[in-house]
Structure 1
Amino acid sequence: MFSKFSQQLKPLGNRSSSETKKDQSNQKSNLQITQKRQRSESRVHPNDESKQLIQSVPAQRMNLRLPDLIKQQNKIENSTSRIDLTKKPPLVRSRIIIDTKSKQQQQQQQILTQSIPIKSQQAESIQHSQSRPGFDGIAEKTNQDRELCLQFDVNNYAFAVMDGHGMDGQYVSTFVKELLKFNLNKFYQVFDFQKIFFDIHQKMKLQTEFGCQFSGTTLTVILLKEHTIQCGWLGDSRAILVRKNQNLSIIELSIDHKPHLESERQRIESCGGVVDTYHLPNGAPIGPSRVWAKGAQFPGLAMSRSLGDLVAASIGVSQIPQLKLINMVNKEDLFIVLGSDGIWEFLDNQTIAELVYPFYQKDDPQGACQKIIQEAVAAWKAHSQGIDDITAIVIFFQYEF
């Protein structure tokens, strides 16, 4: 996750990709890295479980390869090459090209974009998604966000956003996306959010292709079934439903999982974790609340639930999603916006609803996504030296009168 505060304040577990590159360029041998980590770890005293996880972090990641996941991702998303942490990420091609104009816009903006017309017996719905890589203050970041849009039949759909973070965040979010897609296709009608989320987390712990001690992802899933909207989520990728009576009203489909929330803080502290902000040298607090190991400067996770993040999981960060069920109101439900926290960091729910509504009136979900990303980027530039990865999915419901 990108922080709008100084990069020098970030602990080891939340380093950006550019910071990782700098560290890797200075590494001369795995022996030196191991010796350096041993000296740094000797200054803190985490519990035994956390210590084992920390010591198991591989010393070198520059040659990391995910043959199965990357091959499958390239086949689905038509990526131009495998992800290489030592190189600037290539332009990601769109999976579905709408028209020549859209293709040119995508190439110019270097944005992953998808649009799928959806028709049902009750209403016509159009969905569009875009994802933009962030900027760490020095160079463009590797985009760690992933999105998923599936149609099962005329009345059933699934949408999801994953926001990866940490050194291997892009691998974690890709891993979660592919397992989620498999489970949705197999179990959509009887989809058990809690079981499937937890199973994905357990499978991630057992794999050896990438590290998830200090890397993880959010996951927010929306299922549209007949006349209901089901949402299951963990982390701070957010979803809202916009209704219109006399005015636009917001139905929160998810609530961000933040460590300062009382129920979240109590769970973390009961498991041995500490909830606190960064502190300046003079002791002044700065930035959002984060999860820390006692007496240590890690992991510093700015959310209270996630998939992966094994060190944070050992001190109270949960993999159990929250659930919400909403009955759709015919001709009042207008649209859903689902996105990573790059959208919501500086733009509130009402602002997003008001930005999207004119595009809803014009049946232009692509324009709505572009407007959201444009305004989110402008807000980041006004408040920060960097920009987080930004992913938006817009779902329009159109009714025949």
Structure 2
Amino acid sequence: MDILRLATAGSVDDGKSTLIGRLLYDSKAIFEDQLAALERAGAARGSGHADLALLTDGLRAEREQGITIDVAHRYFATPRRTFIIADTPGHIQYTRNMVTGASTADLAIILVDVRKGVLEQSRRHAFLASLLRVPHLVVAVNKMDLAGYEQAAYERVVAEFAAFAAKLDIGDLTFVPVCALHGDNVVERSINMPWYDGPSLLRHLEHVHIASDRNLIDARFPVQCVIRPRQAADPLLHDYRGYAGQVAGGVLRPGDEVVHLPSGLTSVITHIDGPGGPLAEAVAPMSVVLRLDDDLDISRGDMIARPGNRPRAAQDLEAMVCWMSGERPLTAGTRLLVKHTTATATALVGDLRYRLDVNSLHRDTEARALTMNEIGRVRLRTARPLFADEYARNRATGAFILIDEADNATVGAGMITGLP
């Protein structure tokens, strides 16, 4: 079975945590003791039903305030597919957490309260999902029970959201009317909305096609570490030299000719070792060990690729950056560390091209700084070349994080938009 990574987003109190809880509950992915605890919590609040939102709202502050603060991950599976769910916050002050949760998602679910329509945070998260190149977007129009399950109320939200989405780069957009609290159209089709002829949310998640979303053309293998088991009991392993990492693109097979960067020396893959033994091929995002025909000087941060299809070696990067630090703003001349795949390099911010208003999509070219949760286009100059692709081509080799040299804190996340 393949794995679908999905993230929920939307404004505060639109029902993101409740929707995930309903998915887990109706798909029988909750243990009995968990269900009993949720029922006790619901009874204590006088709701008369299990408080499903507590499945993901695990922090004490989240339970007290009834909001999501941090990103919570939940796992479940159906006979057709395995799911990894990231429940991301809706609060504007936790936008950086939403970026973190959606950065690796194959699909994003944006919840919209049918009574409130498309709010500022709904637009903000739709734009962020588009910026992060999440291939599939599902708009779950929630709380249909509070609108009497009326088709007109649902269609008003659809028209409003579609008008805003037309300004964004969204490849696949789907709308589903749901009631997360009662389970309408979440796992099973609802009898309360006979006018809706589409699939339930879970059925759509099970059948959405994601295989073609992955880059199977550009072979990219950032080296994480070199494995030399010198103390191995097996004498055959005394000469073992393997290069461990996670495939970031393309398909790798034994017998393939590859090039090592930065040296430019070529070799041939002799073996690919996985957790269970030798493999006939490796694709993203598998973690494997490559063995080569030649003993090359390869170390962490280097890249293995195809001789005729190499990433760009660049020191000047144009990137969209989401600034996450509340301690200090991002300004021209700021010195930071860039963590790109397995490589780390010192970088200097050249200039801030513009700050983006994610609500109006207006570019403020007069801006001189980015503060926490703001997004803008910047130019970076790194101390040594990075082997990168544009983010639109490869999300793994086109993304990076920015680190404060003083305290090693992650202060920004970036997506490469231009290479020289």
> Please, what TM-score do these two structures have when normalized by structure 2?
0.24
* Structure whose alpha-carbon radius of gyration is higher: 2
Structure with more of its chain in helix, by fraction: 1
Give the structure, 1 or 2, with the largest relative contact order (CA under 8 Å, sep 6 or more).
Answer: 1
> Please, what TM-score do these two structures have when normalized by structure 1?
0.25
